[in-house]
Amino acid sequence: MKWRCALIQRWLPAYPDGDLPSFWQAVVRSHLEKCPACREELAGLEAVVSSIKAAPRHEPDQAFWDNFNRELHLKLAQSVPEPPPARGFRIPYYLLGAPALAGLLLWLAFGYLNPERPGMPPQPQLSQEQKALEQTPAIPRLAAPAPAPEKSEAVVMVSQNGQDLHGDDDLDMDGDLDSTLAGMTETEREAFLKKVRQHEKDGSCTRESLIVSWA
């Protein structure tokens, strides 16, 4: 079979009724005039169509239809028509994911990443002088390094003076006995250890609380 015949024979069943587009109708007609194989194929198809049209149909008698209508009437009388479906604008369920994702992204963009979101504490309002200072270029300043805090000396001075300290930062509150003893003189250490042993015997307080109270 030539390729042209294969192409034409795809359209042959619709040719006799004139259902083809006009271009293809003309092409098939001109091809059929000079191709006996396609004419034979068309004759075979027309024979099939005529046999289908001539085939006897199954036509039930009137008693069948009477029985049919009686049964159907009983069924229809028991059924109720459903109300018409809502015709309003509805998004199909398979498209609901896109708006949900867009809402989530908007919330992330404007709600979570925004520093002025409701959950954050309000930033202090700067006065005009501070704003002016922030706008001026920063001048590099030379500053002396801050002296390192000497905690051991603070403990010693407190013990020598016998006065309470006001700031908690100066006290060695961690209860480490060795570090506390390291900063003491011999006399202070002996007095301290003596007091510790005495209290441990009494059971009145623990070693850690004693360190704190000593300080």
Partner 1 sequence: MTDPQLVARAQEGDLPAFEELVKKYQREIYGLAYRLVLDAEEAKDLTQQAFMQAFVHIRGFRQQAQFRTWLFRIAINQCYNYLKNRKKFGDPVDCDEYVLVGEDSPEEELVAQEDHRRLYAALERLPAKQRAVITLKLEQGLSYEEISKVLGGTAGAARVNYCQALKTLKKYMQNEDDYEVAVRPYPKMVTRISRR
When asked if residue 90 is in the footprint of partner 1 (CB under 8 A), the reply is: no
Cα separation, 45 vs 11, in Å, equals 11
Residue span binding partner 1 (CB under 8 A) among the ranges 53-61, 92-100, 137-145, 151-159: 53-61
When asked if residue 79 is in the footprint of partner 1 (CB under 8 A), the reply is: yes
When asked if residue 6 is in the footprint of partner 1 (CB under 8 A), the reply is: no
Number of chain positions touching partner 1 (CB under 8 A): 37
Contact 192, 184 (CB under 8 A): yes
**CA atoms in the 13 A half-sphere facing the CB of 153:** 3
Residue span binding partner 1 (CB under 8 A) among the ranges 25-33, 40-48, 151-159, 204-212: 40-48
Residue span binding partner 1 (CB under 8 A) among the ranges 51-59, 93-101, 156-164, 177-185: 51-59
Name the residue among 196, 197, 201, 200 with its Cα closest to residue 212: 196
When asked if residue 167 is in the footprint of partner 1 (CB under 8 A), the reply is: no
In the numeric block, the tokens 């396609």 are attached to 38
Cα separation, 171 vs 154, in Å, equals 7
95 secondary structure, DSSP code: G
Chain residues 129-158 in contact with partner 1, contact rule CB under 8 A:
none
Chain residues 8-27 in contact with partner 1, contact rule CB under 8 A:
9-14, 19
